[in-house]
Amino acid sequence: MVQESPKVPQSIMDANRDELPDLTMQIVEGNLPHDLQGYVFLVAPAGTVDSQGLPYKNGNTCLNGDGMIYRLDFNQTGEVRLKRRLAKPPDYAADENTQNIPMPLLRELLRFRNHGLIRFSVLLGSRNELNTGFLPMKFLGESNERLLITYDAGRPYEIDTQTLDLVTPVGKMDEWEAAIDWPNYPFKPILSTAHPVFDTYKHQMFTVNYARSVLKYLGDVITKLNEEKEKEQELEKNKRLSVICELLEKVLNRNSWNDDFVYLMRWDGAGSLERWQLIDDTDGSPVTIRQSMHQIGVTEDYVVLMDTAFGTGIEQIINNIPDFPLLDERKLRELLRVKPSPDSTIYIIRRDDLKEGEEKVVARKLDIPREAAHFLVDYENPGNKITLHAAHICAWDVAEWLRKSDYSPYDSKPVSPDLSGTQQSPMDISRMGRYVIDVNNLSIEEKVVIHHPVCTWGAGLFTYLDRLPSSGMTPKKLENIYWVSFGLWQQLTTEFMHDQYKDYPYREVPLDEVLQLAKEGKPSCLFRLNTASNESMKIDEDDYYQFPADHIALSPQFIPRSVGEESSTNGYIMCTVFTPERDEIWIFDAENLNVNKPLCKLYHPKLNFGLSLHTAWLQKVGPAQGKYRVAVEEDYPRWRLDQLLEFVDSLSSLSASFTTRGGSPLSASFRTAGGKDLKTEVKEEIQNLFDQQIYQ
């Protein structure tokens, strides 16, 4: 009898958006350790204002969505309390408002839509969905830690750790450069990092602001959109396509969307952001990023940036236009998407070179074989040597998702539509790397790269002892890092990814063998990697826990014990677990992952999160204490609104009549029931949006 392949747990596909009163979690197995302490913060995309949760009916990626913040309170004796809130920056109100515009044509032109990983309105700009990560910070003189919530395509926001409400963005809107330089959208499309860093010793926060040109794509896109516009019989869709085509043609003619830049930014928690444009030391040209800067790192003397294998950016907007098939979706993906580089390019900046008043700083460039989305660095850098730890997600495109147009490589039949929107399986085994980089010689002095036949299939999310509870300081050396792996699943293996990685240069497992292993199934795992030295880099039997075949684990978080020594293993690992029936929280002994198995499993019937992402641990919570605030009026001044209204005035497509390919007009004047022309209606709707939702 042929054994059936393990099934992906369906619980990973759905999420609700309910902001309910605090809940007490139910213990379904085991016991709560008595020395658990503090608060764990977890974030997960939870769908959008018009989807009412996950999954999306059209199969868009589940990584797009408003961030739902979950806080687990482990300070209560014998119980765990759960609090949750949606992250709602000002653009959330704009999104909600534009979905409810009564007139269909106005709603079609103004509302936000999912464009792959990005949510965008053609006339208003981008959403800042704040759904990816956190950063604890404690500046000099502060009594409590502050907490940022982050997103790759927006500014970070500080949250009130007691109420979970947003407090303030970091940096005024005008301190950040838009990834689209025209039109001057009120909701700027901003590219940053989901993992800014904080130096607990020097009390400085670092982040980045960057852009990648997409001008080379536009000619082909405009041609395809114009063809689609000629075929579109529905008034609202035709008019939206007309506006999109006119906008892109103006961009092409103005040579806009053509700036490549990378700014390194520093913040003291109170004042304005400082920033420096990165200059490549080899030729003096501005540094350009091909993919993204999902994570950055800081050491005592250096800031380390990486061009990470997570292709999110403005190309998502033109590569994933909703409601229109354009041409064959698989061909469009191949034409326009950013394919991950098989190598990791890092940029090293000396912190002493970040001088006040200067606008540029030199970055030294080094390539590391094999791609990565997440990496960490030791804080200490003795002799100008940086120790870098990376999870190499080999042949795994984590910016791609299972689409309704995907086919199975086993029988060339369509993949299961029930899983559309979730991650795809890797096409090779992940590798774990430890590198000692000699900055003086700009070379890799030592390296060790390992893999494990069970544990390292899709090694993605991580946790470690990032702050000592007694002092709040970062350990100067990373001795143990905990990772969860996604596993290998036949249901999530696609022809598209198979073809993309058939010539992968660093292949460890032959592609045919990967397909066979996916058919058999490789489990999701939680494992510990001793990173203290090259010699210690191995995974023993007691260093990992293999989840049941139909479970997936995500979002690990290290929780230090309230008693005993402060060591990198003296604590617990909490992670989210998707089972065939429901979502659960499991707790492990960090010293003995496999010996003690899960110590405790938590659940609540109203707990329903989707593809959960990163976490943070705080010892205490409280009301937001910092005085730093960016007022809404500073972010969205009247002149910015005036510029938007002038841009709308310039769009001839809002005045032109609508004709089909056969030449028959469906509407000649576009006058509303009130007798106003369409352009006037659009401008009044935008004015009302800002007066009633943003400025109030």
Identity of the residue numbered 584: E
- 13 by DSSP, 3-state: which? coil
Q: At what angle do helices 235-254 and 215-231 cross, to 10 degrees?
A: 150
Beta strands 480-485 and 459-463 are antiparallel
209 membership: H or E segment, kind and range: strand 204-211
Q: What is the DSSP string of 442-500?
A: TEEEEEEEE--TTT-SSEEEEE---S-TTT-PPPSS--EEEEEE--B-GGG--HHHHHH
Residue 682 main-chain phi, psi, to 5 deg: -60, -45
C-alpha–C-alpha distance, residues 116 and 310, integer Å: 13
What backbone phi and psi angles, to 5 degrees, belong to 228? -70, -40
Q: In this structure, are residues 551 and 577 in contact, taking their beta carbons and an 8 Å threshold?
A: yes
Taking CA atoms, 483 is separated from 136, 392, 465, in Å, by: 20, 12, 13
Q: How far apart are CA 245 and CA 509, in angstroms?
A: 45
Closest among 619, 622, 625, 617 to 134, alpha carbons compared:
617
* Residue 96 near residue 680, CB atoms below 8 Å: no
- Phi and psi of 665, rounded to 5°? -75, 135
Name the E strands within 8-162: 23-24, 26-30, 39-45, 67-73, 81-86, 113-115, 118-121, 125-126, 133-137, 146-150, 157-159
551 annotated as belonging to a binding site for a ligand? no
Strand 360-369 to 274-280 pairing: parallel
Tell me how many degrees the CA angle 203-158-116 measures, rounded to the nearest 5: 115
Identify the CA nearest to 465 among candidates 567, 533, 381, 544. 567
Tell me if 660 sits within 8 A of 233, measured CB to CB. Answer: yes
Cα 446 from chain centroid (whole Å): 31
374 is in an annotated binding site: yes
Q: How far apart are CA 53 and CA 424, in angstroms?
A: 21
In degrees, rounded to 5, the angle at the alpha carbon of residue 470 between the alpha carbons of residues 464 and 471 is 85
Annotated binding site: 195, 294, 374, 614
| Binding-site residue set for Fe cation | 195, 294, 374, 614
